[in-house]
Amino acid sequence: MDCVNCREPMIVLEVDQVEIDYCLECGGIWLDSGELGILLDDDDIVAEFLEKPVMTNHVRESERLCPECEKNLNELLVDPDNGIYIDRCADRHGLFFDRGELKQVIGLFRTETSKKVASLLKDIFRGDKID
Partner 1 sequence: MWELIRANRRKSIALFIVMGLMLMVLGYLIGEAYWPRGGGVGGLAVALLVWGIWSLVGYFAGDSILLKSSGAKQVTPDVHPQLFNVVEEMKIASGLSHMPKVYIIDSPAPNAFAIGRTPEKCSIAVTAGLLAILNRDELQGVVAHETAHIHNRDIQFMTYAGIMLGTVVLISHMFLRSLWFSGGRSSRYRSRSGNRNSGQGQAIVMVVAIVFAILAPIMARLLYLAISRRREYLADASGARFTRYPEGLASALEKISGSKEDLKTANKVTAPMYIVNPLKGKGKKLANLSSTHPPITERIRILRSMAGGAGYADYQSAYEKVHGKKSSVLPQSALADKSAVPVLIPGQEEMAGAGQKSSRREFGDVVRAVNQYLFLFCAGCGLKIKVPPEFKKKQFPCPRCKTQIEVPLAEMATVGAVLESVDQGRQETQKDYDMVYRRKRSEWESFRCNCGKTIQLSPHFSGNYLDCSNCRRKIKIELPQI
Question: Which residues sit at the interface with partner 1, rule CB under 8 A?
Answer: 1-2, 9-15, 17, 19, 22, 24, 34, 38, 123-128
Instruction: Using the minimum distance from each CB to partner 1, give the nearer residue, 8 or 56.
Output: 8
**Smallest separation, CB 22 to partner 1 (Å):** 6
> Which CB, 9 or 107, lies closer to partner 1?
9
Contact 16, 123 (CB under 8 A): yes
The neighbouring-strand residues paired with 31 are 95
Q: What is the Cα 75 distance to its own chain's centre?
A: 12
Nearer to partner 1, 2 or 75 (CB): 2
Single out the residue of 131, 130, 4 nearest to residue 67, CA to CA: 4
Q: Give 53's DSSP letter.
A: P
| Distance from C-alpha of 123 to C-alpha of 107, rounded to nearest angstrom | 16
Rounded Cα–Cα distance for residues 123 and 101 (Å): 17
| CB of residue 108 to partner 1, shortest distance in Å | 23
Nearer to partner 1, 49 or 125 (CB): 125
Min separation Cβ 82 and partner 1, Å: 25
